[in-house]
Each structure stands twice: as C-alpha cells, then as structure tokens.
Amino acid sequence: MAARAVAINRAGGGGPGLIAAAFVAAVILGPVAAVLWRAGGGGWPGPADWAALRFTLTQATLSALISVALAIPAARALARRRFAGRRILITALGAPFILPVIVAVLGLLAVFGRSGALNTVLYAAGLPTMQIYGLHGVVLAHVFFNLPLATRIILQGWQSIPAERFRLTASLGMNAGQVMRHLEWPMLRAVIPGALMVIFAICLSSFAVALTLGGGPSATTVELAIYQAFRFDFDLGRAAVLACIQLSIVTVAAILALRVAQSGGFGAGLDRSLRRFDAETPALRLLDAGVLLLVALFLLTPMAAIVMRGGAALLDLPGAVWRAAGISLAVAGASMALTLALALPMALAALKRPMIEAVGLLGIAASPLVIGVGLFVLINPWTNPMLLALPVTALVNAVMALPFALRVMTPQLIDINSEFGNLCDSLGMSPRDRLRLVVLPRLRRQLGFAAGLAAALSIGDLGVIALFADPEIATLPLQILRLMGAYRMADAAGAGLLLLVLSLSVFWLLDQGGRADSDA
C-alpha cells in the first residue's frame, strides 16, 4: 500500500500545499500572539469574565443535552418508519449547516418572540406569555440548529446496526423494548457521547445567537464578551484574556469531540430503511408519527414565518439592503475562491503529510472573534482596519470553511490516487498533466460541494464583520442586525428572506455545477 501513496507525490507536489498550510497556521495563530503581545501578556480574569465563561459552559451543556435528548426519539422514528417524504426530511436535516444564523434567529423571533405566534396564542388563552431573550432563547436557537445535526449523527448509528440483526430479533419475536435493550441501547451508548461533545463544542463559539438573543451580564458568551470588550471599551487587555479563555475551552472541547465522535453526520446512505416488525404496534406508530411531526413543526415553522413575513417586504426593501446583498455576494465569492485555493494544494500535500490536514482542521477550534481582534491589532499600525473589513471577513470565512472543504476533498483524492495513480505513472504524466487531466476532472463534484459550502457559510456569516465594520459598509447579515436594532422588523424579515434565498441558491448552484455532466 505504501507504494500507492507514493504515486500522487508526483501530482501537485508538496510545495504549494506547505505554503498554504503555513499561511493558514499564520492566520489562525498569528492574531492570537498579536493579541497577547498587545495586551502585555494580559491579566487575571475578572468577575465578568468568569460569568461569561460560566454562561458559555452552561448554555453549551444545556444545548447539547436537550438537542440529543430530542434527537434520540426523532432518529428512532426515522430509522424504523418508511413514509413518503422521508428522504426529503433527512436531506432537510442537513440544511441548518448552511442556514444563516441571523435568518434562523429572525424566524425564531417570529414564532417565539414577544409578539410572535406562540405568545399570541398564549395571550388569547389567558396564559402567561414567554420571554425569548436570555439563557432559554440562546438554548432554543442552539437546539434549533443542532437538533438536526444530532438526529443525523444518531440516525447514522442506527443504520450502522446490520439489518440481519433486526431480522434475527424479529425471528426471535422480540418486542420493541427488548430490541432497544439488546441492539439499540448498546449502539446509543457508543454514539451519544460523540454527539454531545460535537454539539457542546459548536455551541462554545456561539456569537451571533448570543449577540441577538443573549446579552446583558447574565447571558453573555465569551465570544460576545470579546466583541464587547473590543467594540465598546476598546479594552485590548481584557479582550486578550477572554481570547485565551475562549481558545483553551474550544481547543479542549474540539480535541475531546474528535476523540469521542465517530462521525460528523455527513455520511451518505442515510436514506436506507428497513421493515421493523417489533415496531408495528399502533401505539408505537402514533408515537413516531407524533415525534416526527413535532420536530418538523419546530424546524419548519420559523422558516415558514420568515417566508411569510419577509415575502411581503421583499419587493420594497431599502437600497441599503440590496447594496449589502451585493457586498455579501462579493465577499462570499472571494472567500470561496480562497477556500479552494487553500484546500486543493493542502489536500494534495496531505496525502503524504497528514499533519497538513491537521493544520487545516485548526479552523474548527479557532475563534473568528479572536482572529478578528488579532488582525485588527496587526493592521492598526499600518492602516485603518475598517478599510480592510471586507477582505478580512473573506479571509476569516475562508479559514473557517477550510476544514469542511478538506474533509470533503481528501477521501476522493485518496480514491483517485489508488484507482489511477499507477496508470498515470505508467503513462508518464507530469504533475501538471495529472492535475489538469485527472485530478481536477475527477474531483469536480467535491470541488463544487466544497465551493457551495464555503460560499454559503461566508454569505451567512455574522462574526468578524461586526468587529470591523464602519457605519458606511455592511454585509447582508450585518445589515439585518442593524435593521433589527432599529426595530424595523418587517424590513429585517424581508432582508432575512433575501439572505436565505441567496445562501441556499448559491450553495445549490455551485453544488450542481460540480455534478453537471460528470461521469461516474
């Protein structure tokens, strides 16, 4: 096997990959060093910092527990039922990954907010209304984003149980409870810790959700505290201390998540279904139908609310919104190009030096706010950082999308290498010919998918841009935030719908572009 891995050494070469990896490492680690240096080493965290840390850990723990607890019955229902629309529902469970956070927040506000649908019903029934801001709002939004992810991860666990085992339990006449005890519980025990850790780690870096639904001393995440220390107080020392806290908790959580997680829920083949004789009782049918209905309602109602509220406002949106949309598209295009320009050489070089992929994965643990503050400190002596708000946003977005692009491309490159490496060698193809004639054409689908992910993630991102932007310039998510701040909720909903349409169609177009006319 070792001999096969050698083959692609002649494709692409290691040089560009090493340069790209060094660049990524510099972008992620350099700003951290800059923050530390500028802060003169930082100080000891104060009470507000500890409060932010406590809140971050609390909300992440609650979000992970609730998401997974709800995902178990949902995944079980998907695993043992066959119905029309099942495949669409499973595909839709992947959508929150590219759903802009600000759009989801708008949708949740429309349903659960002060004058939202739920409170209208509660008020009419004479019941106390609910308040969305604070811990439960933050957790609600995180569950909205991570329940689908948890469901996919756990569903994958269910489908890893061989169908023959279920046939065996059926022939032994086991009921649903016995199947749970003998087959499903052991699987859940293996899968759940990973799902919990992944979601916990994701929620640690929550910024946009905390910015919109949290806030105040009792509901501030570390990321949000960095933003406030920087933007309101320009207290770089405190920002540096917080940056260190954030970096250490995310790194620890990411390492733990990688240790215990078995897969990212990305896997294909989730639409396999098999007949489950133990679950064919009316009560269990009703239970599963109810669970799926509730999950679908919870996930789809906020989206429907955005479409309904935004649809009316879409046609006469203020010019600033359209301008912001144009800026967002440009930033997303640049970020996508940069992601691919970094990912391709890195993925090629990672075939012989796996460490290179590890550098790319740093992006998962990196905090955009920390990078943003660091870049600000680095740029400030030379020029006004606000002038570079958009390039910096594109750069940080690209680094954040890089781990996903690498995960998508690397397995296919390994396949290309093992299938065609020897043939290329025997034909005497030069590295350039190999890239042009073999690697790029055979990697098209993965390139398209990675490009779609990178563009959609960038177009919906509300992170670094909030740090840098001056009032003159805004991406679409930031523009929506400003409209919300000005209580122009109708315009915000219209802009939210526009953002939703843009990010989904950009992803769809690029992904289809990679699929079109590609031969198996």
Partner 1 sequence: MALIGPSGAGKSTLLNVIAGFFPPVSGRVLWDGQDITNLPPAQRKCGILFQDNNLFPHFTAKRNVGLGIRPDLRLSAEDHQEVARALDRVGLTGLGGRKPAQLSGGQQVRVALARVLVQRKPLVLLDEPFAALGPALKAEMLDLVQALMTETGATLLMVSHDPLDAQRIAPETILVADGRASAPCDTKTLLATPPEALRRYLGT
Which CB, 8 or 327, lies closer to partner 1? 8
Which CB, 260 or 437, lies closer to partner 1? 437
Quote the least distance from Cβ 411 to partner 1, whole Å.
17
Name the DSSP class of 268. S
Quote the least distance from Cβ 301 to partner 1, whole Å.
44
Quote the least distance from Cβ 356 to partner 1, whole Å.
24
Rounded Cα gap, residues 436 and 434, in angstroms: 6
- Give which of 211, 229, 215 is closest to 377, Cα–Cα: 229
Letter string b/e over residues 276-291, b meaning 16 or more CB atoms within 10 A of that residue's CB: bbbbeeeebeebbeeb
- Residue 447 Cα to chain centre, angstroms: 18
Which CB, 43 or 441, lies closer to partner 1? 441
Which CB, 183 or 443, lies closer to partner 1? 443
Q: Cα angle at 146 between 142 and 152, to 5 degrees?
A: 170
Rounded Cα gap, residues 220 and 138, in angstroms: 10
Which CB, 360 or 421, lies closer to partner 1? 421
Q: How far is CA 48 from CA 218, 220, 228, 244, 409, in A?
A: 9, 9, 12, 15, 42
| H helix or E strand, kind and range, residue 109 | helix 101-112
Which CB, 434 or 482, lies closer to partner 1? 434
Quote the least distance from Cβ 278 to partner 1, whole Å.
41
Are the C-beta atoms of residues 344 and 518 closer than 8 Å to each other? no
Quote the least distance from Cβ 421 to partner 1, whole Å.
9
Rounded Cα gap, residues 478 and 148, in angstroms: 26
Helix (H, G, I), strand (E, B), or coil: what is residue 209? helix
Which CB, 472 or 519, lies closer to partner 1? 519
Both tokens of 42, joined, read: 């930082």
Rounded Cα gap, residues 206 and 334, in angstroms: 24
Rounded Cα gap, residues 453 and 150, in angstroms: 19
Which CB, 203 or 424, lies closer to partner 1? 424
Residues that bind partner 1 (CB under 8 A): 2-3, 7, 419-420, 422-430, 432-433, 437-438, 441-442, 518-520
User: Helices in 366-488 by DSSP H: which ranges?
Assistant: 368-379, 389-427, 431-433, 440-442, 444-459, 464-468, 476-485
Q: How many residues does the chain have?
A: 520
Rounded Cα gap, residues 315 and 465, in angstroms: 26
Quote the least distance from Cβ 419 to partner 1, whole Å.
5
Quote the least distance from Cβ 427 to partner 1, whole Å.
5
Quote the least distance from Cβ 346 to partner 1, whole Å.
24
Q: How would DSSP label each residue in 51-72?
A: HHHHHHHHHHHHHHHHHHHHHH
Which CB, 24 or 424, lies closer to partner 1? 424
Which CB, 102 or 438, lies closer to partner 1? 438
Q: How far is CA 200 from CA 61, 150, 464, in A?
A: 6, 11, 22
Quote the least distance from Cβ 5 to partner 1, whole Å.
11
Quote the least distance from Cβ 452 to partner 1, whole Å.
21
Q: How far is CA 466 from CA 90, 228, 311, 368, 475, in A?
A: 33, 11, 26, 11, 9
Which CB, 99 or 429, lies closer to partner 1? 429
Quote the least distance from Cβ 64 to partner 1, whole Å.
43
